[in-house]
Structure 1
Amino acid sequence: MAELLLDSKIRFWVFLPLMAITFLVGIIKHYLFIFMSNDKTVDKQQLTDSQALLRSRLIRENGKYLPKESFLMRKNYFTNEDSGFFVKQKRQSTVKNPMSDPKAMTEMLKGNFLNMIPMVVIGGWINWAYAGFLCTKVPFPLTFRFKPMLQKDVNLVSLDASWVSSASWYIINLFGLRSMYNLVLGENNAADQTKAMQDQMSGAALSMPDDISKAFKAENESLTITEHKWLLKGIEQSFLN
């Protein structure tokens, strides 16, 4: 098969414009998300409970670096049968249906709007303006299993799998500009499409359990059975030797 040669104008009218448009749309989406989002108020009691669970987990995981007296003192603060934090604090179950929360539904709709509308609009524009374009080629050979991923809208069986179509180049930029967004906008930005999809799948509410009483009971049992194992025993002698 003869080697294909791309017109140099494709670099300036297809390759670079798609990358620049994808990047600028991500920047605009980030600031629109900031403009449209409401300030989230955190309940003081929920914050205290979540920090207590986090502190207890850290004690279980890193207690081996503490002296035994310090570990037992912290353990007693949480698990004492009479005055322990997990025993003394009583919480009511706060299981909420996110579908019945207007604020949660509004935030979800805003996120879906800002994530899906640009993808649909730009994807339709690419299919209309650059349908069937090959805009670049990866500098290493690939197997034919990569053809559906790299050559969207280009149905040529005999074409080398290393060539990249315009539609596939847009998708690569959509998920591949993460480092650029982190550099320009910071780590917690709304332009990162990968992070947006993860947030939609996991949900921000997962950071706080629905039934805090069950969480306290489970953490109390886990911390109670945790034994202290001094990891730094004899560390002074190792330094002297």
Structure 2
Amino acid sequence: MVLTGVLRHYASVLMATAPKKLDAKGMREQRALAHGVTLRSNYHVLSQKAFEQRRETLCAGYESGAYLKEPDRKGQPPANPLTDPGAMDGMMGMMKNNMAMIIPNTLIMSWINAFFSGYVIMKLPFPITIKFKSMLQAGVQTKDMDPRWMSSISWYFLCIFGLQFVYVFLLGSDNAASQMAQQMAAQQMPMNPMGGPGQDPDKQFKTEAENLAVIEHYSVLDDVEERLLQGIKS
């Protein structure tokens, strides 16, 4: 199991394609939006004047579309991501990683079912309740067996989830063999329909401009002298 995970990791590394670099306008579009989010999250460390200057500059750029990658498409519906070659390359790389994970697991599970179906291979050294019987005795159709006994296919699934920390120790936290990390990443992906329109940068900029406009500024340095003197007196 460990060797299979290591081989799967290096197979995914070899099949992975290098991500395409963004052009200057695309990078500016991303950084401008990130700048607004950072200002909204950390405005309290700035003075009133510094915050007002930054807010006015960003809001003016957001409203005018100065930071857009394609200013000519302002107000138009976003393009289909399937027409973007970069997006297609990303989906192809994701498909390769999924195939490198699914194929070895399917082959091993089929091999276990073919040669060790119905086998009981170990007994847990601690007592468990009857609710774990269906999980630990998959493929064994018995009603009176102690739930501590584990079937071969259940042991295989237990190894899959239990070896995640071994893979992290051997290959690092960002490894292709860690299926748990891939499942978490898949759950955090946006649930846009395949072929549907992407996010509109112009709407994102206008939303961020509204978020910045409603901020009531305060600074951690307000009345810092009085608070310092009160702390010394107390």
When normalised by structure 2's length, the TM-score is: 0.77
Give the partner amino acid of 1:43: L
Q: Percent identity?
A: 29
User: 2:156 pairs with 156, 163, 170, which one?
Assistant: 170
Partners of 2:230 and 2:179 in 1: how far apart?
Answer: 49
- The alpha-carbon deviation at position 198 of structure 1 amounts to 3.4
Cα deviation digits, residues 131-169 of structure 1 (max 9, x gap): 233334444433222222222112222223233322112
Are 2:82 and 2:88, in contact at CA under 8 Å, matched by a contact in 1?
no
Q: Distance in 2 between matches of 1:154 and 1:89?
A: 62
Secondary structure of residue in 2 paired with 1:97: helix
Q: What do residues 87-106 of structure 1 show as CA deviations (whole Å, max 9, x unaligned)?
A: 33344334413899652453
Which secondary structure state, in structure 1, belongs to the residue aligned with residue 42 of structure 2? helix
Aligned to 2:143: 157
1:187 equivalenced with 2:176 (yes/no): no
Q: One-letter code of the match for 1:28?
A: L
1:180-238: CA deviations, max 9, x gaps?
A: 222221222111112223344544899xx632111111111112112223346545346
Instruction: Give the whole-Å Cα distance in 2 for the aligned partners of 1:117 and 1:96.
Output: 28
Asked whether the 8 Å contact 1:23–1:177 carries over to 2, the reply is yes
Deviations 1:97-124 (A, max 9, x none): 3899652453243123211111110001
Which residue of the partner structure matches residue 26 of structure 2?
46
Counterpart residue number, 2:206? 217
SS at match of 2:41: helix
Structure 2, unmatched stretches of 5+, are: 193-197
CA distance in 2, matches of 1:196, 1:123: 19
Q: Where does the alignment leave 5 or more consecutive residues of structure 1 unmatched?
A: 1-21
Corresponding residue SS for 1:28: helix
Q: CA deviation at 1:86?
A: 5.3
| 8 Å Cα contact 1:98/1:104 also seen in 2 | no
- 2:3 matched residue in structure 1: 24
- Contact (CA 8 Å) 2:62, 2:206: kept in 1 or not? no
Write out aligned runs for 1:189-204 (5 A): 189-203=175-189
- Specify the alignment match of 1:89 in structure 2: 67
Q: Note if 1:72 corresponds to 2:52.
A: yes
Deviation at 1:47, TM superposition (A): 3.0
Deviation string for 1:19-73 (max 9, x for gaps)?
A: xxx2211111111111111111121333332233223222222322333333333
RMSD across aligned C-alpha pairs, in angstroms? 2.9
Alpha carbons of structure 1 residues 152 and 85: separation in structure 2 relative to 1, 3 Å:
same
Number of matched pairs = 215
Compared CA separation, residues 41 and 172, structure 1 to 2 (3 A): same
